[in-house]
Amino acid sequence: MKKEEQRIHAEHQAAADLVQTALRTMGPMAVRELLRNETVALEERHRKEDMQLQREMEQAAEDSMAESVAEAEAQAAQAAEDQAGTAVAGTTPAVVKVQQPPVGQAVPGVQAAPCIKIKNEGVGQVAVEN
């Protein structure tokens, strides 16, 4: 912020010097016209800067929206692909690696329940009976 303050101070000093020089050499009416022209030019420059900032903000908003739409489309395509992969008959089911405990040992964290019977019904389907 220090540089910005220095720049503003330098502009003010330059304007004050210009006015003093103009008053000495051209008179008050010429200075009035000069200041009017400078004011118009300054307003025009600020208007252009504001328009540029507005365009940049609009472009950033459009870019952000396009990125969001692209992400949403990618997610929708992935979801459709995932759903199609599970819904299509004859597709290969996902491969799940099951770690078997050594013979005579139970799987860690799993307790056997003698009253539950598990039947294999086919690929990927299991029925449980009590």
Residue pLDDT, tens place only, 30-61: 888 888 998 999 899 999 999 999 999 999 99
Name the β-bridge partners of 117.
129
| Domain-embedded: residue 57 | yes
Q: Is residue 66 part of a domain?
A: yes
Q: Is residue 108 part of a domain?
A: no
Identify the domain containing residue 56 by its residue range.
1-88
**Stretch 89-108: mean pLDDT:** 58
Query: What total of structural domains would you count in the chain?
Result: 1
Predicted local confidence at residue 21, as pLDDT = 87
Query: C-alpha angle with apex 72: 71 to 75, nearest 5 degrees?
Result: 85
In whole angstroms, what is the distance from residue 128 CA to residue 38 CA? Answer: 88
- Residue 106 located in a structural domain: no
**Whole-number Å distance between alpha carbons of 62 and 64:** 5
Please report whether residue 99 resides in a domain: no
**Does 80 map to a domain?**
yes
pLDDT for the residue 62: 94
126: confidence class by pLDDT, cuts 50, 70, 90: low
Higher pLDDT, 85 or 51: 51
Higher-confidence residue of 113 and 70: namely 70
3-class DSSP state of 114: coil
Is there a domain that residue 125 lies in? Answer: no
CA-closest candidate to residue 94, choices 102, 104, 86: 86
Domain-embedded: residue 120: no
